[in-house]
Amino acid sequence: MKVLKKIDKRNKKKPDLTVLCSYYNNENTIKKSLNSIFNQTLNNFEVIIYSDGSNDFSDKIVKKIIKNKRNVLFLKSNKNLGLTKSLNYILKFARGEFIARHDTDDISKKNRFKKQINFLKKNRDIHVLGTNAIHIFNKRKFIKMPKTNFLIKKKLPQENVIIHSSVIILKKILNKYKYNEKFLRCQDYELWLRVKGSINFCNLQEYLVIRQIRKNQFTLNDLYYSSLARFKHINFFEALIYGFKDLAYFLTKKIIF
């Protein structure tokens, strides 16, 4: 991988939060998505934007958005690495104590970062903090996640109950464990299952992320990697049962659509 372009417009003040944002050909959604980051009510944060070999008009849109910003680092790769490797790579440039995820087809509500950072500073025993989300596919659907560490860990073997694009995580935790680069999909689910015995989770009971859900979003690749994550980190028979449940869900969705 070769970085073709680097634009560092960050000031010297160390931020509380670093937002990691990697994209590949998101010209239809990236403007609205990035504006939702830069319009946040939190003041002290930086944004690392990584063009993962993007070859549509996304880069031009991004450069226009960041032209007058003073809290952004822009990097462009010569080839597409995929989300997992991209996140591990740009994590090296992060300066904040906390790391936020944001996908360029999602919208973060303007008070998302402030609410999550305030919560994490008051609750130092929490290492990963997600939120509820609004899914949009034809109509809005409100997705409510379990709140407490106990309920999240109880539910995790069955399904991913931490929405990746809603997460803020301590940088020291992400630096220590990182994403498993063998997982091209479901890299967040594999990480949560791998570290759940060592860290604490929580989900704010507020709908702070709006996600655009595509038709047939759950793919065979997702089925494979989510099952693989379970077989690596939980009881074999439980992994088998939950894998069959996911397969039944996948086939049902295929029939419906």
Residue 1: predicted pLDDT: 62
The structure's pTM equals 0.94
Residue ranges per structural domain of the chain = 3-214, 217-257
Residue 150's alpha-carbon distances to 145, 218, 235, in angstroms, are 13, 27, 18
Q: Residues 128, 84, 42, 31: what is their CA dihedral angle, to the nearest 10 degrees?
A: -140
pLDDT of residue 216: 60
Question: Looking at residue 186, what is its pLDDT?
Answer: 96
Farthest CA pair distance, the chain: 55
Q: Please tell me the predicted confidence (pLDDT) of residue 215.
A: 64
CB-CB contact of 206 with 110 (8 Å): no
Distance CA 38, CA 41 (A): 9
Q: Tell me the sheet residues that pair with 133.
A: 143, 209
Coil, strand, or helix at residue 212?
Answer: strand
What does the pLDDT read at residue 219? 85
3-state secondary structure of 143: strand
As a whole number of angstroms, the distance between CA 184 and CA 223 comes to: 12
Write down the CATH superfamily of domain 3-214. Answer: Spore Coat Polysaccharide Biosynthesis Protein SpsA; Chain A (3.90.550.10)
Determine the pLDDT at residue 63. Answer: 95
Residues of the chain with confidence (pLDDT) below 50: none
